[in-house]
Amino acid sequence: MNKRQQLIILTAATALVLAGCGKSETTEVTKVPFKDGSAALATSLEQLKTQLDASKVKDPKKVSSQLENQWASFEDEVKPKFPELYFKVEKFLIPLEAGLKQDKLDYPTLTALSNNLKTTIAELTTSFADNKGAVNKDVIAASKELQEAAKAYNKYVQDQGKQLVTLLEQLDAAVKSGDLKKAQEAYGQSRMPYERIEPIIEKFSELDGVMDARVDDFKNEKDPAFTGYHRIEYLLFVKKNVKDAETYSARLLEDGKKMQQAIASTTIESSDFIAGVGELMEEAQSKKITGEEERWSGATVPVIRANVEGAQAIYDLVKGELKKKDAALDEKISKSMNTVIEAMNTLSPVGATWTDFSKIEQSKQVDLKNKLEALAEPLVKMPGTLSK
């Protein structure tokens, strides 16, 4: 495949991601060893290839969910050891899943994505067998410079935890005041510290589940179990009902205090905080760029900006060591970071207000997605480079 063909395929794939994956049923995924999970995924891709070649996929939405669940069954084993290959799998898998959920299937694009994903899974299987290119946590842990960086990052996370509580207090006060515009702005501001340290927050899955779960995980918007940020988002931006948001903002504040305490009691090791940079950017450019997380508030750009700020905080702490190991990679990250920040600031203002993502032209959404991906690609190389 030549470069022009690759560009056409990636552009089409980006369009599939931005089209969104739609609402899917939430299922419990059973974790399996890498060998079993990768074999099952490879088999499914082989079966899908046969159907794509015949331009006839039986129940494509079911196939999409199957691929998603099979990857989820072993991805946690891949992420810390092979972040570059993890990113590469998601680069092809996410648009493939999205494309299979469309009413009209784009067979050439789906075929190319499926073939690329199959090749990547084979590469990943070989890398696991040979332990080739794996992040060496022992090297990172032994570096005095990276240990100092980890201490500084722990302080950053603690500060963000404190900011989270302060901004949730402001959100609760704004909701109680009955001022809709003030409450909406406070909602957006309160999301920022949460998103800057998301990889750390996700370690506390029970709290994260009640604070940041989306409606897709529940029966509907009125499900009593649907609480947290996105219940408040629905009430403030769709129902425009400040009064009904009071109970949920009070609950979110209490959960935020528990989260801050949980963050305060944990210590983040150097290898873990360096790996977090890839997690922030991978999710930003593959999932959040669809606008589905902030579907009612339209605050997609501010949320992604917070992810980028969190990634930049990590990068800034290790760039001295990174430059020693790979000056070209450091320069590429620095330039890509500036490009992304400039693009976001052009699309939406910095501060308490923002441009609704759904009102941004799709060509500009695609451009931002591509710039985020161009930043994520060198960032996920950082853990492996620093562990050499």
- pLDDT, tens digit, 9 for 90 and up, residues 120-162: 999 999 999 998 889 999 999 999 999 999 999 999 999 999 9
d(CA 362, CA 175): 33
Contact 207, 213 (CB under 8 A): no
Contact 18, 366 (CB under 8 A): yes
User: 367 is written with which tokens?
Assistant: 């451009």
Cα–Cα separations (whole angstroms), residue 44 to 52, 131, 227: 12, 25, 36
Closest among 199, 193, 139 to 166, alpha carbons compared: 193
CATH class of 3-130: mainly alpha
**pLDDT value for 14:** 61
Which value, to the nearest 10 degrees, does the dihedral of the CA atoms of residues 253, 258, 261, 262 take? -130
Q: What is the pTM of this model?
A: 0.89
DSSP 351: S
**Chain centroid, CA 206 distance in Å:** 18
Domain 137-386 has CATH 3.40.50.2000: no
| Per-chain mean pLDDT for the chain | 91
Cα–Cα separations (whole angstroms), residue 251 to 159, 165, 211, 264, 386: 22, 12, 9, 20, 41
Q: Counting Cβ atoms within 10 Å, is residue 107 exposed (0-12), middle (13-18) or buried (19+)?
A: middle
Dump pLDDT digits (tens) for 13-71.
566 666 654 444 445 789 999 999 999 999 999 999 999 999 999 999 999 999 999 99
Contact 135, 82 (CB under 8 A): yes
Sign of CA dihedral 276, 367, 377, 340: negative
**pLDDT value for 275:** 83
Dump pLDDT digits (tens) for 166-225.
999 999 999 999 999 999 999 999 999 999 999 899 889 999 999 999 999 899 999 999
Contact 102, 16 (CB under 8 A): yes
Angle of helix 362-379 relative to helix 300-325, nearest 10 degrees, comes to 30
Domain boundaries, the chain: 3-130, 137-386
d(CA 153, CA 176): 34
Contact 246, 252 (CB under 8 A): no
